[in-house]
Amino acid sequence: MKKVLILGGTRFFGKRLVDHLLWEGQSEITIATRGNTDPGFPEEVRRIKLDREDPQSLAAVAQSDHWDVVYDNICYSPNDATSACEAFKGRTRRYVLTSTLSVYGDPRPGFTETDFDPYTYPVQPGGRDDFSYGEGKRLAEAVFFQQADFPVAAMRIPIVLGIDDYTKRLHFHVEHVQKGKPIGIPNKDAEIAFINSTEAARFLAWLGKHSLTGPVNAASKGTITLSAMMNLIETVTGMQAQILTRTGPEDMSPFGVAQSWFMDTAKAEQEGYSFEALMDWFPGLVREVALALQSNV
């Protein structure tokens, strides 16, 4: 049995990662979190309290065992990454960092892993509040790939969707249509990519067992234009969307990019991973979200 440590694992795709590893039945699982949420895992899942931004707290978690794989879903800054490099030195065989499409900077289509090079990116110290989300992740990657003495892979993902998405970004669009509220979308023709929370978890599990290192893009096959997404929501709800290029901030789409924004997943696919097609799951999720919102009215 592999000893697996998950930093963050009580909600969304972190929780689904635990569920997937339990289903595989090949790992002794420990989750390290603040301890504020009870995810309802069986007793075999060990829980440790962790303050991710406290180096001493992280070191105590690292030293509680020797780990075959560490999954880090809650690293947002270079200081967090530096603490992890120090804490897990000689304590893990493999480290998998959750990163983001946002490391590539301004939106454009077809990003490949080489479009941001964390091996040469200048490192500077700082905490989560010192940087934007994308810059924090860029610097975290840079620290890991330049300083860690253990193998590291970074899963770069686009927007993650699921019925359990606590950010409610798809819910925002469906609810606005249901309530007849305007939605601000600067460019309806922009193509975007998604990954669902189940696949994000499944890919993490795969990456933990694979020897692949470095940054790795992960996303569902295919893209969808914002116009096609809104048409689908209109079909599911039976109502017409009120789409404007500009609105007040409370009505601006969280997907409202000015140009297409997606990445190439050839690296993972060449290593044998097969991503699910976006349109195999996205329409069903829209229906599920619409029904959930209707039942809450």
Q: What is the pLDDT of residues 47-61, one digit of tens each?
A: 999 999 999 999 999
Q: Classify domain 2-159+195-217 at the CATH topology level.
A: Rossmann fold (3.40.50)
pTM of the model: 0.95
Domain(s) of CATH 3.40.50.720: residues in the chain: 2-159+195-217
**Would you say residue 296 has pLDDT above 70?**
no
Instruction: Classify 222 in phi/psi space as left (phi over 0), alpha (psi -120 to 50) or beta.
Output: left
β-strands 224-225, 191-192 pairing? antiparallel
pLDDT value at position 265? 98
Compute how many other C-beta atoms are within 10 angstroms of the C-beta atom of residue 122.
7
Q: Classify domain 161-193+223-261+278-295 at the CATH topology level.
A: UDP-galactose 4-epimerase; domain 1 (3.90.25)
Mean pLDDT over 254-271 rounds to 96
Measured distance CA(126)–CA(123) in Å, rounded: 10
pLDDT value at position 254? 95
Higher-pLDDT residue of 8 and 122 is: 122
Domain(s) of CATH 3.90.25.10: residues in the chain: 161-193+223-261+278-295
Q: Give the type of residue at 15.
A: K
**Would you say residue 297 has pLDDT above 60?**
no
